[in-house]
Structure 1
Amino acid sequence: MSDYLPNEVLVDILVRVPVKSLLRFRCVSKQWNSLISSPAFINTHLNRALFQQTNGDDKSNQDLLLFRYYYSIDYVMEDDHGMHISVNDKREERFSLHRDDESFPHNPYLKLDFPYRCGGWYKDYFQIVASVNGIVCLVDQNRCILWNPSVSRVMELPFAFQYPDRSVMHRLGFGCDRITNDYKLVRLVYFGTRDHPVVPPVVEIFTLSINSWRQIAASGPMYITVQHSSSSQAFASGAFHWIAHTPPEEGTFCNLILAFDIANEVFNELPLPSCLAAKTDLNMTIAVLNGSLSLVPCNNGRVEDESYSDSVWIMEEYGMAESWTKLFSIDIEGQAIWRVLSFTKNGEVIVLNDSGKLVAYESSTQQTRDLEYNVGPRFSKQVYSLDTYMESLVLLNVADAL
């Protein structure tokens, strides 16, 4: 077929084909394999998918939700008296993909095979840093994993700088520099203790194109980044963002957003809404909603001023304090919100309540529905991550990806 088509016509046809089909098409010929695996084609295919996603093209079929959960395994054992008892404390970390459409969450799921077991952080599961352009970035105590389940490619990135004799707390960010089409992982390393970390942190950067870590000479920020949940960072406007606050020894407590410009590799500070700046008892999730930076402060069931807790805020003009706008409150009668997991394409907010159950909240109608995921015969309802995901060919051409 390619003998009768100009290369640009062939590219224009193949760039519209889903990832799963393209992987099969690589077997057609060496030419097709070389074309589909080339960086230029991978970027063209990705950019088209991003354009369709941004413009709400339902035909693109690219909008997915990545769900990470615990699967509980029952087994039978004998007690000291010879009685057989059922034990349900063995759990496996599992991942599945769901279509982000009107059928969610009852749409058919795709079970994913994650090839790693956690090496120690939180004992038995990875922290998900971010899902960007088909790459899921995960981390445990000693390494980072870049995983694209669409193409079954994974890279293991051991941390180049180890601190075996010092107490370490780290925060991470993962994103794509759209100027260079390169991916970077940023690691902020705090020494000291969890309650009293030392500032500034050491700043380390991994760059995918050169497959190496480095420390930057610029001084780290004089703020402590916090992690209330796995949703601890957000990537928007070309920068990583973390919720942070002033060190306790400064006396005056202040919340803010710490930003790191991925291209220029410099830190910036963004203000929070004034009503949230001095609050010490909120579980704040930072996220991206419709391309803009957003905040969701939750009170975890404590009695608080409802004017600011359990609500969704958006920064309408990036970097401008006065542009913070409260979009709506999340009012789920009789249920305390532990944290917000995700915003869906159909306008719902997926939250985890204090009982460990998933609930969908529709702000325009103020209706709620209990979500029961069809992910297996038995599973824990304690959900650890729900994030948007888009299939892509990224990592297909990376030599160090297995």
Structure 2
Amino acid sequence: MVVEEDDVKRVFAMVNKEREAEVPEKTDEGGADSERTYVVSSYSSGYIRSVNIISSETFATIENIELCKSHDDRPISSIKGCVDGVLLAHTTTLGFYNNEVNVIFLWNPTLRKVVDIPLYGSLRKKCCDAEFGFGFDSVSNIYKVVALYLEKNYLKIKVYNLGTRSWTSNKVKRSSIDNVKYTSNNTSRGVNFEGCVYWLAKAETTENKKTHYLCFNLSSEALTCSKLPDVKRDAPIKDVLRELSVLYDSLALVDTSVHTSYRDVIRVWIRRKNNTTNDVLFSWVELYNLDFHGRSFLYLTNNGKLYLQWPVFGVTTTLVYDLKTGKEKVCSKAQGDGINFMDSNLESLALLR
């Protein structure tokens, strides 16, 4: 790989203690920093051994990058986050007495570099249902990995500092967050936005319905919990699937209502800051209400490209719907279950050290 001068500047901006102010701004889709996209599909075994880097415009594969050979004996089971071109990968392996344990590591496919994140105690146990996140602290100029898990009456927080390569821990009384008990037990990945990591959460009394979201500030290392907009039920529905994303430089929520008539409705909300003097800092505004048939949500870009999947008779069709123009086009068709992770690919040299 040829390293251009601009890439070198970007490296020092990412890994230097004094993160320079002249870091090139991200461009719109089609620009040099955003025309490539990560696409991850699992094998029939359910594990991931490589990622495809594709063109966002044509969906053609630019490069297939395999997981480093040193980690091939423990392939990835899920991707928990993506920041500056670096993937936070999670899997499990057999520990002592043949019990399953958590394993996480950071993977920069551009560099073919992996950084192992050591796990200890309860966090290492698969049964602890930990949630992991990854982000950049712009105050200390350090990348951090965050872990949340429940232990007795406390929601425990552990932060791994990539600068010191060490863990710090904190704990929050579950009843101290909005005076209601929550659990972070869900399969959604953390979303990194404006120096915070966000996860979906649920009240313990609402079964599997995601009613709230957790926000962890990477600088102050404070955790807050806020309510999501109520699920709209305008017809008989079997389930409502919720995902957090980023749209138009705002935190976004994508609701997919699966109806009994196989008609799917996707609602897209964005969070806006209130300009009032009351105690409510943010409110949610519904921007789009889209009627689809059999399509499931895959990925939402910041500039309004909604990627969907449509499985029919063993063939999964991937489509992109432009929220601004209302136009839809087919990206690809493939045998099997399709894509299980998609995110923008910033070709960076983060985690060089």
TM-score norm. by structure 2 comes to 0.77
Alignment RMSD, CA only?
A: 3.8
Q: Indicate the larger mover: 238-247 or 335-344.
A: 335-344
Aligned residues: percent identity? 18
Partner secondary structure for residue 167 of structure 1: helix
**How far apart in 2 are the matches of 1:330 and 1:139?**
33
Residue 392 to residue 354, structure 1, CA distance change in 2 (3 Å): same
**How far apart in 1 are the matches of 2:124 and 2:139?**
36
Residue 199 to residue 381, structure 1, CA distance change in 2 (3 Å): same
Q: CA deviation at 1:323?
A: 3.3
Q: Which runs of 5+ in 1 are unaligned?
A: 1-13, 24-34, 73-88, 192-197
Residue 312 to residue 97, structure 1, CA distance change in 2 (3 Å): same
**How far apart in 2 are the matches of 1:113 and 1:166?**
26
Structure 1 residue 145 corresponds to structure 2 residue 117: no
Structure number with higher strand proportion: 2
Q: CA deviation at 1:353?
A: 3.1
Residue 266 to residue 370, structure 1, CA distance change in 2 (3 Å): same
Q: CA deviation at 1:387?
A: 0.7
Residue among 55, 60, 70 paired with 2:42: 70
**How far apart in 1 are the matches of 2:310 and 2:193?**
27
**Residue equivalent to 1:114:** 67
Q: Deviations over 1:80-118 (max 9, x none)?
A: xxxxxxxxx798643111233xx3313x42111212347
What are the residue-to-residue correspondences of 1:168-207 with 2, within 5 Å? 168-190=128-150, 200-207=154-161
Task: For 1:139, give the aligned amino acid.
Answer: H
Partner secondary structure for residue 359 of structure 1: strand
**Residue equivalent to 1:394:** 350
Q: Does the Cα contact within 8 Å between 1:148 and 1:395 map onto a contact in 2?
A: yes
**Residue equivalent to 1:40:** 16
Q: Deviations over 1:363-398 (max 9, x none)?
A: 34433223216xxxx8645211011121112111x2
Partner secondary structure for residue 17 of structure 1: helix
**Residue equivalent to 1:223:** 182
Q: CA deviation at 1:301?
A: 4.4
Q: Which has the higher contact order (CA 8 A, sep 6+)?
A: 1
What are the residue-to-residue correspondences of 1:1-400 with 2, within 5 Å? 16-18=5-7, 39-40=15-16, 43-44=19-20, 48-49=23-24, 51=25, 53=26, 56=28, 60-71=32-43, 93-100=49-56, 103-106=57-60, 108-115=61-68, 116-117=71-72, 119=74, 125-141=76-92, 142-162=102-122, 167-190=127-150, 200-219=154-173, 222-229=181-188, 232-248=189-205, 255-275=211-231, 281-302=239-260, 309-317=265-273, 323-332=283-292, 335-343=293-301, 345=303, 347-355=304-312, 356-372=316-332, 380-396=336-352, 398=353
Residue 338 to residue 36, structure 1, CA distance change in 2 (3 Å): closer
Residue 162 to residue 111, structure 1, CA distance change in 2 (3 Å): same
Q: Which runs of 5+ in 2 are unaligned?
A: 93-101
**How far apart in 2 are the matches of 1:38 and 1:58?**
23
**How far apart in 2 are the matches of 1:47 and 1:111?**
31
Q: CA deviation at 1:172?
A: 1.2
- Which structure has the greater CA radius of gyration? 1
Q: Does the Cα contact within 8 Å between 2:262 and 2:294 map onto a contact in 1?
A: no
**How far apart in 2 are the matches of 1:40 and 1:163?**
30
**How far apart in 2 are the matches of 1:226 and 1:218?**
16
Partner secondary structure for residue 331 of structure 1: strand
**How far apart in 1 are the matches of 2:310 and 2:15?**
43
Q: Does the Cα contact within 8 Å between 2:87 and 2:108 map onto a contact in 1?
A: yes
Task: For 1:131, give the aligned amino acid.
Answer: C
Q: Deviations over 1:182-204 (max 9, x none)?
A: 1111111236xxxxxx6533222
**How far apart in 2 are the matches of 1:38 and 1:344?**
21
TM-score norm. by structure 1 comes to 0.68
Residue 114 to residue 147, structure 1, CA distance change in 2 (3 Å): same
Task: For 2:120, give the aligned amino acid.
Answer: A
**How far apart in 2 are the matches of 1:290 and 1:384?**
24
Number of residues of Structure 1 aligned to a counterpart in Structure 2: 324
